[in-house]
């Protein structure tokens, strides 16, 4: 492996977002600008495309890369795959054989906690085998739970969507509560970190309460206290709106609701918190409930994306390209908050060893005294992340969401 290696590999991994493609745009546009001799290969379905040797040659794409900014989900396909331990040398030798055949020196992996683990393993395996590789992880997760970075690209847009949807649903319930539904429950994503649920607090104003209870994985669920609070909310306002994380935990520390199934990383498959809460409220308080699960809707809502989120997603992609070309390895571009008022931020770097397989949860200092709401400190953290609008182009009343013309090599 002595010939010149200057080409780049990019892949998307884990649950997608409304702005992950913006990071791809930032990376690819910066590589094209700063390293004109670098060919860019985008993997089909994350690391799976590298294993199966299915990659797109971005140099053959004729449509403008700027289309990536307006398109939600993963343009190149994503995956959830856990790589084997480093002692599985045959596997990694095959991986680097595929990279070597395409003269790939720059490895960019766009994802969250588990994806950071994948990128770190590739970096460590390259050193072990003696393959010259600059492996850079690009942050992306709606869960907002990556360590070191102030916030994660993908989260701001989900926060904007959840706060908006919660306020709209609250107005709906308020108008019907006299003779119909008294309680509405929205279940949102968040396994161990309740950032998405916490963002529902942004729906509230100093004059109007739209969301009455927020249930986080960080706070063990006290049924008696919860029911008393819901009863009081309905008695006072005529209705109650609850936003609950899918990872809500009972007093014994176990998940309040799980399916019993696990993904490839060993994570429990979650779901069913909202209907379980609705049954509890109806059985105990006799109140009519409606519930909904935001699921994929929350992370694909590009039509309501935060401009701040898009800007940061592009910026981490651009910085990743610069880090790679500078010869850096085993790191991730991270967002640093410089100030709140006015909101200013910058991109620096974080070591993957301090990020992979770790989680940043909602701090107790962000919780209101009753732990069912978010206090002003938490609001001041969240609010800048949802600022600004960037509507996609519409046609016939719907977003166009045009796709790139992609060509497998």
Residues 311/346, Cβ–Cβ less than 8 Å: no
For 124, phi then psi, to 5°, come to: -70, -40
Q: 306 vs 140, 187, 312, CA distance in Å?
A: 14, 21, 10
- Torsion over CA: 51, 56, 59, 60 (sign): positive
Question: Is residue 143 flagged as an active site residue?
Answer: yes
Q: From the candidates 143, 145, 150, 311, give the one annotated as an active-site residue.
A: 143
Q: How far apart are CA 374 and CA 363, in angstroms?
A: 10
Active-site residue numbers? 143
């Amino acid at each position: 492996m002595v010939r010149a290696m200057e080409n780049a590999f990019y892949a998307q991994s884990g649950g997608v977002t409304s702005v992950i493609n913006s990071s791809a745009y930032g990376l690819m546009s910066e590589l094209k600008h700063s390293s004109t001799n670098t060919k860019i290969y985008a993997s089909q379905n994350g690391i799976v495309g590298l294993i199966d040797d299915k990659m797109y040659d971005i140099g053959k794409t004729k449509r403008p890369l700027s289309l990536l900014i307006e398109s939600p989900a993963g343009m190149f396909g994503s995956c959830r795959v856990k790589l084997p331990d480093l002692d599985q040398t045959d596997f990694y030798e095959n991986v680097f054989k595929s990279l070597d055949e395409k003269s790939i020196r720059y490895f960019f992996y766009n994802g969250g906690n588990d994806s950071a683990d994948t990128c770190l393993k590739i970096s460590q395996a390259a050193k072990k085998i003696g393959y010259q590789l600059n492996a850079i992880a690009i942050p992306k997760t709606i869960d907002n739970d990556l360590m070191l970075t102030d916030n994660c690209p993908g989260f701001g847009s989900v926060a904007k969507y959840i706060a908006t949807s919660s306020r709209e649903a609250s107005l709906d319930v308020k108008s019907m509560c006299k003779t119909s539904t008294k309680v509405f429950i929205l279940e949102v994503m968040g396994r161990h970190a309740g950032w998405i649920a916490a963002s529902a607090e942004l729906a509230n104003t100093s004059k109007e309460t739209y969301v009455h209870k927020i249930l986080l994985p960080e706070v063990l669920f006290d049924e008696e206290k919860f029911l008393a609070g819901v009863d009081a909310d309905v008695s006072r306002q005529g209705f109650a709106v609850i936003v609950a994380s899918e990872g809500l935990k009972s007093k014994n520390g176990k998940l309040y609701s799980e399916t019993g199934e696990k993904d490839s990383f060993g994570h429990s498959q979650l779901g069913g918190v909202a209907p379980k809460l609705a049954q509890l409220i109806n059985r105990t308080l006799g109140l009519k409930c409606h519930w909904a699960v935001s699921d994929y809707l929350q992370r694909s809502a590009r039509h309501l994306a935060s401009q701040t989120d898009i800007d940061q997603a592009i910026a981490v992609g651009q910085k990743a390209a610069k880090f790679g070309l500078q010869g850096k390895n085993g790191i991730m571009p991270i967002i640093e908050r410089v100030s709140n008022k006015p909101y200013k931020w910058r991109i620096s770097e974080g070591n993957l060893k301090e990020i992979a397989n770790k989680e940043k949860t909602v701090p107790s200092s962000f919780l209101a005294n009753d732990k069912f709401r978010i206090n002003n400190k938490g609001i001041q953290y969240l609010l800048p992340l949802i600022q600004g609008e960037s509507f996609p182009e519409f046609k016939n009343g719907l977003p166009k969401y045009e796709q790139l013309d992609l060509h497998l090599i």
